[in-house]
Copies of this chain bind each other. A is one copy, B any other.
């Protein structure tokens, strides 16, 4: 009946029922987050077709779970039993790149790096650069308010979204936001949709702000004997007034895993590596790179260097990007995404080490240390249920520690399913009730990705 109704409103090839295909579209990359098999996958080719999907779901009161590339790490795109999965993978047009207004208009299925490459041809730059950028889509980036490496200087996805076209929870196709540089006409509903993880609307087009392409970056690398020393180096850089264009931490577990896989000659006799970058042009860039180097050395780096060639610098950043897949070769990886005040980073890294010891769990660390966003990666051997239970306890402990230090349970990955309990603790019942009220206002029939982010049933 649902499927017949979909087929009545859409070309047949948009509607996919093959169980093998459905299984591939039923979950994102979050280990351990539950998922079930959808009734059907629909791949609309236009905003109007997406609206038809939502209207059909409204008639049948069937949930619609929107997904981009499925690279999420929190279960936000995981299917519910019998739901409709709406994939944006056929909505891949870059409609406009405007050099005068410095904006781009794209469909949600455009891959992040494809947009960046298209902008580069016009001397423009779309900054948000999640590690998933070769695969993840702008729609998914917007739905999760994705971050990345350059956020420490340039902000996150929300800072670049000017406007969007959306199918609402009542099946209307509307435009929110604007194309102008400034605007305060009414509530910032476009901003509200950013990071709402598919629970408030189905995004069918996005207008993003662009910047001029920047100067080539200079890279500074430092090896440290302890996370504490690395934390000191990061704090010293901030205190020196330098805002780096990247400040990343990679620990020895990650380096060893990447090296074992790619044989890049990376393994160092150090606990952690810091990678700093500056894209300030000319003399200012030289000064910032020298300042970072000085901060590394004063914090006790066993080895620190300003990379003189781009290839070497790229290799170090490649190691950082490869850390996650390299660790996955050792077993399922449960990814944390806590973000703490920058002054609490060293303490938080110490708490993570303590959690690893206490719960006898291998925890590797990559971190956007410059803005306090840490990614402890909890690794368990395949099929070891006891190890998995210990890792789960460590996961909860780390979330509690982050909240205790004034942090948040998720800096950039989103809540999805994995961080729902943490969100409850972070927000408290009154603010959760405000979330429920907003959800009810914009999705009165509760069909948009229900059960994600928070439990929309009223608290007691």
Nearest-neighbor residue (CB-CB) of A155 within chain B: B159
Contact A185 B152 (CB under 8 A): no
Contact B182 A144 (CB under 8 A): no
Nearest-neighbor residue (CB-CB) of A172 within chain B: B430
Contact A194 B188 (CB under 8 A): yes
Smallest distance from the beta carbon of A380 to chain B beta carbons, Å? Answer: 25
Residues of B within 8 A of A99 (CB): 239
Contact B100 A235 (CB under 8 A): yes
Residues of B within 8 A of A241 (CB): 123, 212
Stretch of A44-52, A80-88, A405-413 that contacts chain B: A405-413
Asked whether A354 is an interface residue with its Cβ less than 8 Å from the other chain, the reply is no
Q: Which of B284, B341, B438 contacts A180 (CB 8 A)?
A: B341
Chain copies in complex: 2
Of A123, A155, A422, the most chain B CB neighbours within 10 A belong to A155
Asked whether A296 is an interface residue with its Cβ less than 8 Å from the other chain, the reply is no
Contact B339 A188 (CB under 8 A): no
Residues of B within 8 A of A341 (CB): 100-101, 179-180
Distance between Cα atoms of A281 and B411 in the complex (Å): 32
Which residues, 134 to 171 on A, are CB-close (under 8 Å) to B?
144-145, 147, 151-152, 155-156, 158-159, 168
A189 and B434 contact, Cβ closer than 8 Å, known pairs A100-B235, A180-B411, A235-B100: yes
Contact A411 B373 (CB under 8 A): no
Asked whether A423 is an interface residue with its Cβ less than 8 Å from the other chain, the reply is yes
Smallest distance from the beta carbon of A253 to chain B beta carbons, Å? Answer: 23
Asked whether A184 is an interface residue with its Cβ less than 8 Å from the other chain, the reply is yes
Asked whether A342 is an interface residue with its Cβ less than 8 Å from the other chain, the reply is yes
Residues of B within 8 A of A159 (CB): 155, 159
Contact A414 B187 (CB under 8 A): no
Asked whether A270 is an interface residue with its Cβ less than 8 Å from the other chain, the reply is no
Asked whether A181 is an interface residue with its Cβ less than 8 Å from the other chain, the reply is yes
Contact B184 A413 (CB under 8 A): yes
